[in-house]
Chain A
Amino acid sequence: MRRPLVLVFLFCVSPANRLRESQAADTAFMTPDRQREVLRQALSAFDDAVACAQHDPAGAQELYRRAAGSFESLVTSGMHSAALEYNLGNTYFRLGMPGHAILHYRRAERLAPGDEVLRANLAYARRQAEPHFPARGQERLWQRLLFWHYGSSLAQRFRTAAVLSGLGWMLLMIRLRWRTPMVLAAGAFAIVLALACGGSVLAQLSDERARPPAVVVEGGYLLRLGRGEGYDPALRQSLGAGVEVRILQQRGDWVEVRLPNDLTGWLPAAAIERL
């Protein structure tokens, strides 16, 4: 009985080790000390830019650019946090790039959907994007009904599914030895919750893979009926930076996108950036 359990333990532990090693390899571009130093530089540049924004707008812009570069280098080095994406969103907003700002706010929202400060800034930035597509009633209803899906991050749901799945099956293993109904009920309940969380994660990943969310980062492009400048516009008004879309397909340098009001059309691929 002891030998199979050891094998099972090794089987479970080895993927986790590989995961940790790959993450360590990703972040190996920058030492932790260097990361802290770059972060301090970025925050300092941002603060300086805020301070001189009114009497020296050009200097402030340069400092914002420096802050954005430092934050971006941290992201490139493997840092993957909601706070960092949020700060990048703020910096790009101050640089007058609402498309990039909304893009990073959305990335931050994906990691920390419950962050009130982030939601306030995202809502503010969205008001700058034109045309504005308010959330429809049906979407709001789904968000209320599936609050646990929309109100928690992908990572949170993934972790919950992992813990509950492990707990539930462990209880069922215990039941193999001590056959009590309480253990069976608790195990089954934990597994059902784990499946719900796992299903939610699967649904979001599948949805994002099928129709990747993206943000228009270069404004002024017309949404066209076909992939080329020779096609008529699908919308008479050009899309401003910050409009959020879903990518339906990409052909060459053009992508077919769907707007929040379900209108579809083609945009140059350079105009948008995936989340």
Chain B
Amino acid sequence: MWTVGVVSNPLIHPRGRRTLPDVAADLRAGRRARRNCAALWLLVTWTARAAAQATLELEVEADEVRVREPFLVNVRVNNFESCDAPDFPLLENASVRAQSGGVDSSQMLSVNGRMTVSRSRTYVFEVTPLAAGELAIPPAQVRVDGRMLQTKPARVVVRPSDAELLFWVEITCDRKRIYVGQRVRLTLTIWVKPVKMQEQLVPPDEMMGFLRVINFGPFSPREVRTDVRRRSSAGGGTETYYAYETHADYVPDRPGQLKLDDVEVAIQYPTRLSRDIFGTWQVRAARNLRARAQVESVEIVPLPTQGRPPHFTGAVGTYGITVSAEPTIVRVGDPIRLTIEIRGDGPIESVPPPDLAGDPRLTQSFRVPREELAGEVSGSRKRFTQIIRAERPDVTEIPALEYPYFDPDREMYVVALSAPIRLTVTPAAALDTSSLVDTSSPAANQNAAAPAPLDGLRGNKTQETELLAVGAPVRLDRLALVLFVPPAVYGLLWGYGAYVQNCTPAQRRRRSALRTARRRIDQARALPPRDCGAEIAAALNGYLADRLDEPAARFVGNAATAFLDDRRVPAPLCARWVRLLGRCEQASFGGMTDGDTAALADEARECLRALERERL
């Protein structure tokens, strides 16, 4: 951080008319000025020397604090070149935590053009007093520019805490005794005594804005319900409190007492508030309070071993099982997709699959993979899918599947059963060997008598021409060849045709018609007016002759007009052509001025441009 300051010179003053008293006054003023100058020089020199010397300061945020309410202590090093981190002294009945590793700031001071730069570094410590009384902070030592400096000692008065009356956190459970794996509902309540400002309570929503979650454990800070309740106070009466409640489902994984004391909430509890221009409360002074959750005593007990079913997989709650199979008409060895749906009020996300591979009633008739199944959760249901295969054709049903679970309400093991599923299993199909039997070979008779293989494959292909085909693989370069060569050939042909067409003398003459006519018109401008008109008329007729590859004499006079009519040139353009030729004739016989010559040439050029657009 940089700060810049400028001090102006006070010794400059205007001079007036010079009389004797003025001279005396000047002498006095000169002496005063010299004295002032000397004082200022001393001040600047002292400031510069002071600025150049390193100093160490200790600042305490408050003179009076409460037990377990942290306050800040700053250790500031000024005007240093190098410094180590301070060794903050150990305090009795207080804990200290360094908050920052040193924040640097710089200050630049300019006095009459002389620049002085000073820098400082601040280390911040959070001190939390643990007992009431007087807290003495001994000098802190810091090595600065190779010298060991120390701060002055400080004292802080610590008063007993009343935070328990202002703010606390509770966790309650709807049961006093729960089982490992049982899903229970926990309630977290944050109690806050509302702040009264200007004879009115700060509303609950605004008080909630001062709360800060340190650790919410299994609870969600987004689903907090606000309530206003009255509770008995230490003085015997009742007081109003704001209760902020949220819930969470919890599944204990080990026996013992319910422990959630790492849930911690903080509040910046305001002691002085004011309203800003928008009418909302702004904290002017506050106390930093923290509270760990007080957990209600809840005993977590292990599942009983007595009466535990052999295929129990750890499900706790109340469950039901539904099984479906597809297809139900199969051959031996065909896969049967078994869909097992478990539904219940327990922790459905972590509910284990049934032990199919360990169920002898299933495995004696079906081949069951041993892989652990991954389920798919949908609401309060979890679906598992497994492929099983009938091993014999005499299997008639998929037996009822068992799903043992522990019911914590009845405190006993229960086995849920699915309904058995009727199944039709036929022997495995014979291989369709008709397509592969070569009747001319001796193996054909053996195949005909061979027992059917146990799968449903169709037979081999035997056509030699089909089997010994050589297909070229399709590649990108071949595709490009196929798609781009024909248009390239087309382009070549089109270009060649265009070239051939433009190569005849008639085409060359046609292409240069306009250029030739314009050149002749431009040359006509330099001729005498009498010759100019004749030359422009000749240029116009020459244009028509070139365009149509005809002799120029053919378009003299009205012949050109008739020809333009035949070519469906618009009537106004024909009339313009006639008028233009008339003016040329008039000029060649009657003469005209230089201005008229230029206008006639321009008109001829315009007329040619219009005629060019008609593409004769």
Contacts and interface: CB of A to CB of B under 8 A. Distances in A.
Q: How large is the interface on B (under 10, 10 to 19, 20 to 34, 35 or more residues)?
A: 35 or more
Interface string B499-536: 01000000000000000000000000000000000000
Contacts of A161: 479, 482-483
A84 B467 contact: yes
A189 B610 CA distance: 39
Q: How large is the interface on A (under 10, 10 to 19, 20 to 34, 35 or more residues)?
A: 35 or more
Interface in B428-476: 431, 433, 435-438, 441, 443-444, 446-447, 449-451, 453, 455-464, 466-476
Contacts of A44: 441, 443
A83 B444 CA distance: 21
Contacts of B431: 50
A124 B431 CA distance: 13
A87 B436 CA distance: 10
B421 interface: no
A43 B471 contact: no
B387 interface: yes
A39 B482 contact: no
Contact of B479 (A12, A19, A46, A201): A201
Interface in A165-217: 165-166, 168-170, 172-173, 176, 194-195, 198, 201-202, 205
A80 B470 contact: yes
A202 B483 CA distance: 11
A194 B485 CA distance: 13
Interface of B: 334-335, 337, 369, 371-374, 387, 431, 433, 435-438, 441, 443-444, 446-447, 449-451, 453, 455-464, 466-476, 478-479, 481-483, 485-487, 489-490, 492-494, 496-497, 500
Contacts of A132: 335, 337, 387
A124 B456 contact: yes
- Of all A-B residue pairs in the complex, the 7 with the closest CB atoms, nearest first, are A169-B486, A81-B469, A83-B461, A51-B450, A162-B482, A51-B446, A83-B466
A221 interface: no
A36 B468 contact: yes
6 contacts: A23-B472, A44-B441, A74-B468, A90-B457, A168-B486, A236-B374
B476 A39 contact: no
A198 B470 contact: no
A79 interface: yes
A259 interface: no
A117 B492 CA distance: 48
B60 to A, nearest CB: 52
A198 B443 contact: no
A51 B493 contact: no
Nearest to A67: B460
A79 B469 contact: yes
B319 to A, nearest CB: 21
B183 to A, nearest CB: 23
Contacts of A162: 482
A238 B457 CA distance: 26
**Dominant secondary structure at the A interface:** helix
Interface string A108-148: 00010000010011001001101010000000000000000
B71 to A, nearest CB: 47
A158 B474 contact: yes
A5 B156 CA distance: 106
Given A124-B455, A169-B490, 9 more contacts: A1-B496, A1-B500, A11-B489, A26-B470, A27-B470, A39-B467, A50-B447, A117-B435, A176-B497
B371 A238 contact: yes
A81 B373 contact: no
Contacts of A165: 482-483, 486
Contacts of A53: 450-451, 453
A111 B471 contact: yes
A8 B489 contact: yes
A19 B470 CA distance: 12
Given A173-B493, A201-B479, A117 B468 contact: no
